[in-house]
Structure 1
Amino acid sequence: MNAVKPLLLLIFVQLALIACGGGGAGDSGSGSSTDDTNLASGLQQRPRTATLNVPVTATSGEITMVEAFENLPNFSQPVFITHAGDGSDRLFVVEQAGRIRVFANDPNATSYSTFLDIRDRVADGGELGLLGLAFDPNYASNGYFYVYYTGSGPESRLSRFNVSSGNPNQADPGSETILLTVDQPAGNHNGGTIAFGPDGYLYWGLGDGGGSGDPDRQGQNTQNLLSTVMRINPTGSGYSIPADNPFVDNSDGIPEEIWAYGFRNPYRFSFDRNTGDLWLADVGQNAIEEIDIVIKGGNYGWSWYEGSSTFRSGAPSGTYQFPVHEYDHSQGESITGGYVYRGSAVPSLVGKYLYGDFISTRVWALTVDDQLNKVDNSELGNAPQNPAGFGEDEAGELYIAGYGGRLYRFAEGDGGDPLAGFPQALSDTGLFSDTSSLTPASGLIEYDVNSPLWSDYSTKRRWIAVPNGQAITFSGSQPWRFPIGTVLVKHFEIEMVAGDTDSSRRLETRVLVNQTGGWFGVTYRWNEPQTDAELLTDRLTETLTVADADFNGGTRVQDYLYPSPNDCLSCHVNASGNVLGVKTAQLNGRFDYTSGNDTISANQLTTWNHIGLFTRSIGSPGQYQALRALDNQATSLDQRSRSYLDSNCSFCHQAGGTAPVNIDLRYSRTLAQTNTLDVVPEAGDLGISGARIIASGDAERSVLWARMNTTDDQYRMPPIASHLPHPEALNVIQQWIESL
């Protein structure tokens, strides 16, 4: 199109398009392109996507995790799976909000029933909720089962319920007998597991009461039940203390319920059904995740120790039980304990302890010898969804509760390497017809986002390729759904002399592919001559020295993180639809498209709609929300601030997200719905007097602003991909908070 078309004609056509709902392709649902000229569109027809050399079929390694019950409806934030031990071979799934579902353990099952619904008394969100379920060893005859949930206060409640006399798939919510309650100082570090041991007693684990760094020193406080694993004997209307508990009849005021102590957050533990060993995964602070074998009276060290490393100096002499295995936060950031596998479907896993990480989604198999010393720890791959819990069926087969709503089982894999299909050089992927000039291949459509993620002063370009004949399922308010084979490309550069674009250095190009097994991302790091980029197999950090007059001495020294495939999955989580930038509110803005010698500025949603990139016509973009850039002075402080929090924080901080606190920073939520304004922080106050997540009119008391403003990896948000505060964002967010 010629840029000098009469202005009145252009306005007339644009108004006509708005009145007609955007027009263009996709009206029939075919997603095919159109030859009709649309003066409001930056492209007039959909380019044909070239053949790309990136793997679309996922490989699984020696072991794979596959959907166990493909025909079941989604569960709502499932956190645990178990069985009743009554010979019925049913499975029970605990949903965090307060329901327990039951269904036949049949891969062809198509429906489940609600076994128990106690949402009316469960406080959920973040780490709160219905967290644990255990069936009485004599359930088949007495119909008793036990649940652990958090109530208002918050407080931790251990209760007994009865199954209905007339329906084995329905319990009586009115039959609750509360056995034990523990007040919680904060809303996190609640533990989560209750389980009967081989001795017939009920075990229950709680964390240190919450906050960051054990602020109340509960880890070594043996005068209450926080930071402990308890062991009790449920009776009629209450419980008794087993006579061989380690602190029975002690004179030090130690609660007799305690079996072991010194845990930070023992979210999941289990018993080896063959040996009776108690395996516990303790969620770490800012460095170490650990696996413990719990023994009678053991002190597991928190908060003198995080794993086997000193967390706080000055630990008194004594006997501390150190982990049988631990890993640092380059591998994951929130361990989800599993089980020792005793099933028969996957013989190579028998006797190994299977566990995962909720954030990185990695799953491992830990092997120990007869003395419970580590022999090997093998990575099995990534769970398709964030693993919120594991569970056994009656036969000892293991399942994963994916927090996104699906259940998975283990199976023998194809032995492939997930990285094997990716070329070693970016130039061999076919994504660019000329890699040195970053000329995209046919079908790669460049786009931009309204409110970009802060990436430590780097600048970015972005492209998308959708397979020929396929289209995106659009939603105005929910994540889009992309066809298998969709490829997203993001390229990063940084000015080595701040403000001088000619000094830009290419750092990395990330490639995210929607494979048959889900989204999978890799990183290509650019070589020194800046001619090509090489595939990375693991996380890498480089120190950059940038000339920047805004920093002391005129030099900015910064660490830059090149993410591993697992790092990609830490942010591209199920709750956000796995894709972050390609969504309605981010694409509802203008982009400068190049057509020959002309540059056409057009709305991206209008353009994608016109060329048939969506499965249906989406109408006028004016009906949808749009995020706002930090420097868009034509918009309000509230719009710019909320947009920034959406793009930089909400992929974890939203309902169903991976963040362990109950806040929702999506732009679509009202400020009240974010649960931040004048709310006491659950995850630590950073030493701020009178701290609130967002303190009305006071940025200095706002933990959200403080976390953005620190370089301390223990407190900084987001926890990966950024090492430096964002000055412009700090200024805007400060002004916004002080205007509230």
Structure 2
Amino acid sequence: MSRSIRRGVIYLLAGVLAVAGVGGIAPARAALPPGFTDQVVFAGLTEPTKVAFSPDGRVFVAEKSGFVKVFDSLADSTPTVFADLRRQVFDYSDLGLVGLALPPGFPTRNPWVYVSYTYDAPIGGTAPTYDDRCSTSDRCLVSARVSRLVISNRQLVERVLLNDWCQQSDTHSIGDIAFASDGALLVAGGDGASGDVVDYGQLGNPTNPCGDPPAPVGGAMTPPTAEGGALRAQDVRTPADPTGLSGTLVRVHETTGKAPADNPLVASPDLNTRRIVAYGLRNPFRFVFRPGTGEVWLGDVGFRTWEEIDRLVNPLASPVPNYGWPCYEGAGQQPNYRAARLDLCQTLYAAPAGSVTAPYYAYQHSQAVIPGDGCHIPDGATTGLAFYPAAGGYPARYRRALFFADYERGCVWAMRAGANGLPNPATIDLITADAGGPVDLALGPGNEIYYVNLAGGTVRRLHFG
């Protein structure tokens, strides 16, 4: 996310005072749409980050510290611990266990549970290196893992599929994981760079701790040739050096972590390049598949000005789309990185039209998504996406709608479908302005939208009827 999760919790708690009007009276929050109630399903969790629903009625919930907990049903109030990954997980600031997915055929045909988390060690290292302690930002070099978990002979077995995503800051680590309808596993990851200042590798102690070109670890990183920091999101454009997975969406085989044979860059000699199906992303914390299509919709957390929802029409198509970060933010050039006059950005600015894929929808930190919606501004962090199906118990206006959440604003909206079936940015409804700290949206049992409130330690349901 664009701010530390823990700082974000403080912002949300203080937000009522920050938006208070004359006399200390805060603007009225809009009520839920008629017929909706916001219900607590599970409570008493500690910084929950992700929810996954099993066909057998069980509900899996990830906690940021490294726990995966299981509820036997929606009526269960006392979970059991499925996995305790706290020794491996680097739980610091924004970083921790954030991704959780159940594969097709779970649990009978495929009993594995998939997770993504910040790993408490550099790439190839052994955890725990820091024991979740880091004195200041940019001092603890960590990485991220994608793993599959299973209980065998009453013991947890972890098989690591990927260990990458060099992380020099306390934000923008690994993101969401989910299975496509064809069985491939998709994984999103952030740029691993500073969330607050222009970062091209000059930061850190030592400088350039990830060893990005052209300098070694500890070397001087200067424009225009520097390729570190946020520029790792453009790494696929520099084939002369090994490609990292920062700032990308990758598509891999569920048992090997290798690129499937139909990936668009599978002919590359670089194993990571083969995995990449989209790049130029800052912090694609959550993504979702549009039902009935192969499309991937990503919530990319913004920098100074814009929050983005990006559309990947076909993960198997060439050329692989570049969403432009850090050279672009929103639909335009990012002014702070443009001013740094970095070669990787300058050549992208000079590239033919269409070389950068603009966001499907973007909103400014300084503006409300819907005027007067009562959501906290100026700030933003797109942290949840879920499509409503073509049929279900919600009112007809929400069929095929894209529900999206913002952690910093504590709100959930629905972008209603237009005549072409796609979400229409001109028709957005506020669903709730009191979501606390939403970090995940999911379509769950009863065709209802569930969300995870990290700040409140709950999983909640938007119930209609």
Is the structural similarity TM-score above 0.5?
yes
- Structure-2 residue corresponding to 1:75: 45
Cα distance change, pair 278–113 in 1 and its aligned pair in 2 (3 A): same
Q: Secondary structure at the match of 1:327?
A: strand
Partner of 2:350: 316
Residue aligning to 2:148:
160
Partner of 2:163: 181
Q: In the alignment, does 2:245 pair up with 1:225?
A: yes
Residue among 444, 457, 460 paired with 1:393: 444
Which residue number corresponds to residue 329 of structure 2? Answer: 306
Q: Contact 1:64–1:381 (CA<8 Å) still a contact in 2?
A: no
Give the equivalent residue in structure 1 for 2:110. Answer: 142
CA–CA distance in structure 1, aligned partners of residues 84 and 326 of structure 2: 36
Whole-angstrom distance in 2 between the partners of 1:361 and 1:324 = 22
1:349 and 2:366 are equivalent in the alignment: no
1:303: Cα distance to partner?
A: 1.1
Identical columns (%): 31
Are the equivalent residues in 1 in contact too, given 2:411–2:436 (CA < 8 A)? no
Task: Classify 1:285/1:389 alpha carbon distance in 2 versus 1 (closer, same or farther; 3 Å).
Answer: same
1:39-78 Cα distance to aligned partner (Å, 9 max, x none): xxxxxxxxxxxxxx99999843447451232xx4411111
Question: For the residues of structure 1 that align with 2:26 and 2:356, how far apart are their CA atoms?
Answer: 50
Code of the residue aligned with 1:81 in structure 2: it is V
How far apart, CA to CA, are the structure 1 residues paired with 2:268 and 2:30?
58
Deviation at residue 101 of structure 1 after TM alignment: 1.5
Aligned-residue offset at 1:246: 1.4
2:244 & 2:304 partners in 1: Cα distance? 25
Which of 384, 399, 416 is matched with 1:337 structurally? 384
**3-state secondary structure, aligned to 2:232:** coil
Residue 177 of structure 1 aligns with an amino acid whose one-letter code is R
**1:676-701 deviation per Cα after TM superposition (whole angstroms, max 9, x unaligned):** xxxxxxxxxxxxxxxxxxxxxxxxxx
What is the DSSP-based 3-state SS (H/G/I as helix, E as strand, rest coil) of the residue aligned with 2:457? Answer: coil
The SS at the match of 1:159 is strand
The residue that corresponds to 1:202 in the other structure is 185
- Contact 2:383-2:406 at 8 Å conserved across structures: yes
1:247·1:254 contact (CA, 8 Å) conserved in 2?
no
Contact 1:123 1:151 in 2 (8 A): yes
For 1:358 and 1:201, the matched residues in 2 are separated by 28
Label 1:220 to 1:65 Cα distance change in 2 as closer, same or farther (>3 A): farther
**Contact map agreement 2:282 2:301 (CA 8 A) in 1:** yes
Report if the CA contact (8 A) 2:48-2:452 is conserved: yes
Equivalent AA in structure 2 for residue 321 of structure 1: T
Name the residue aligned to 1:291: 309
Q: How does 1:505-524 map to 2 (within 5 A)?
A: none
Deviation at 1:252, TM superposition (A): 8.0
Change (3 A) 1:95 1:253: closer
AA in 2 matched with 1:230: V
Residue 136 of structure 2 is matched in structure 1 by none
Pairing partner for 1:124 from 71, 91, 99: 91
> Do 2:31 and 2:432's aligned partners in 1 also have CA atoms closer than 8 Å?
no
Q: Distance in 2 between matches of 1:252 and 1:132?
A: 25
1:361 equivalent to 2:328? Answer no
SS of structure 2 residue aligned to 1:137: coil
Structure 1 residue 349, shift from structure 2 partner: 2.0
Q: Is the 8 A contact 1:184 1:209 kept in 2?
A: yes
1:383 offset after TM fit, Å?
3.2
Q: How big is the shift at 1:206? A: 0.7
Q: Distance in 1 between matches of 2:28 and 2:423?
A: 40
Alpha-carbon distance between aligned partners in 2 of 1:210 and 1:351, rounded to the nearest angstrom: 35
In 2, are the aligned partners of 1:282 and 1:289 still within 8 Å (CA)?
A: yes
Amino acid corresponding to residue 234 of structure 2 in structure 1 = Q
1:457-536 alignment to 2 at 5 Å?
A: none
Query: Take 1:392 and 1:54, find their aligned partners in 2: how far apart are those partners?
Result: 32
Give 1:334 shift.
Answer: 0.9
Kindly tell me: are residues 124 and 351 of structure 1, through their superposed partners in 2, closer, same or farther at Cα, counting changes over 3 Å?
same
| Aligned counterparts, 1:77-92, within 5 A | 77-84=47-54, 87-92=55-60
1:345 Cα deviation from its structure 2 partner: 3.0
Q: Is the 1:185–1:209 Cα contact (8 Å) retained in structure 2? A: yes
* Aligned amino acid, residue 392 of structure 2: S
Post-superposition Cα deviations, 1:536-566, rounded to whole Å, max 9, x if no partner, equal xxxxxxxxxxxxxxxxxxxxxxxxxxxxxxx
How big is the shift at 1:190?
A: 1.1
Q: How far does residue 131 in structure 1 lie from its aligned partner after superposition?
A: 0.9
Higher Cα Rg, which structure: 1
Aligned equivalents of 1:326, 1:62: Cα separation in 2: 27
Deviation of the 1:254 alpha carbon: 6.5
2:190/2:281 contact within 8 Å kept: yes
Task: Assess if the C-alpha contact under 8 Å between 2:388 and 2:398 holds in 1.
Answer: yes
Is the 8 Å Cα contact of residues 43 and 459 (structure 2) preserved in structure 1? Answer: no
Spell out, residue by residue over 1:622-648, the C-alpha distance to the aligned partner (whole angstroms, 9 max, x if none).
xxxxxxxxxxxxxxxxxxxxxxxxxxx
Runs of 4+ in 1 over 6 A off after TM superposition: 53-58, 251-254
Matched to 2:277, the amino acid is W
Cα offset, 1:149, TM superposition: 1.0
Partners of 1:322 and 1:126 in 2: how far apart? Answer: 30
Matched, 1:326 2:326: no
Aligned partner of 1:336: which letter? Answer: T
Counterparts of 1:371 and 1:284 in 2: how far apart (Å)?
27
1:453 corresponds in structure 2 to none
Say if 1:317 and 1:407 are closer, same or farther in 2 by CA, change over 3 A: same
Secondary structure, counterpart of 1:385 in structure 2: coil
Counterpart of 1:317, as a letter, is A
Work out the CA distance in 1 between the residues paired with 2:324 and 2:266.
Answer: 21
RMSD, aligned CA: 2.6
Per the TM alignment, residue 163 of structure 1 is displaced from its structure 2 partner at its CA by: 3.3
Any idea what the Cα deviations from partners look like across 1:714-739, whole Å, max 9, x if unmatched?
xxxxxxxxxxxxxxxxxxxxxxxxxx
Q: 1:181 to 1:76 in 2, by over 3 A?
A: same
TM-score (normalised: structure 2): 0.69
> CA shift at 1:336, angstroms?
1.1
1:571-582 correspondence runs (5 A):
none
Cα distance in 1 between the residues matched to 2:264 and 2:458: 40
Superposed CA deviations along residues 574-603 of structure 1, whole A, max 9, x for unmatched, are xxxxxxxxxxxxxxxxxxxxxxxxxxxxxx
| Deviation, structure 1 residue 378 | 2.2
Q: Are the structure 2 counterparts of residues 225 and 57 from structure 1 closer, same or farther at C-alpha, using a change threshold of 3 Å?
A: closer
- Give the paired residue count: 348
- Contact 1:213 / 1:285 at 8 angstroms: preserved in 2? no
- Aligned pairs for 1:726-737 (under 5 A) are none
Are 1:94 and 2:62 an aligned pair?
A: yes
> Post-superposition shift, 1:226?
0.9
- State the one-letter code of the partner of 2:160: I
Q: Please give the alpha-carbon distance, in whole angstroms, between the structure 2 residues aligned to 1:239 and 1:268.
A: 20
Q: CA, structure 1 residues 65+131, in 2 after alignment: closer, same or farther (shift >3 Å)? A: farther
Q: CA deviation at 1:247?
A: 1.0
Q: Structure 1 residues 373 and 412, CA, compared in 2 at 3 Å: closer, same or farther?
A: closer
* 1:288-341 superposed Cα distances (whole Å, 9 cap, x missing partner): 000011243111111111011210433231421111111111334111131101
Q: Which structure 1 residue ranges, 5 or more long, are not aligned?
A: 1-52, 167-171, 414-740
Structure 2: any 5+ residue segments left out of the alignment?
A: 1-24, 122-141, 201-227, 237-242, 339-345, 369-378
Contact 1:73 1:111 (8 Å CA) reproduced? no
- Give the CA deviation at 1:82: 1.0
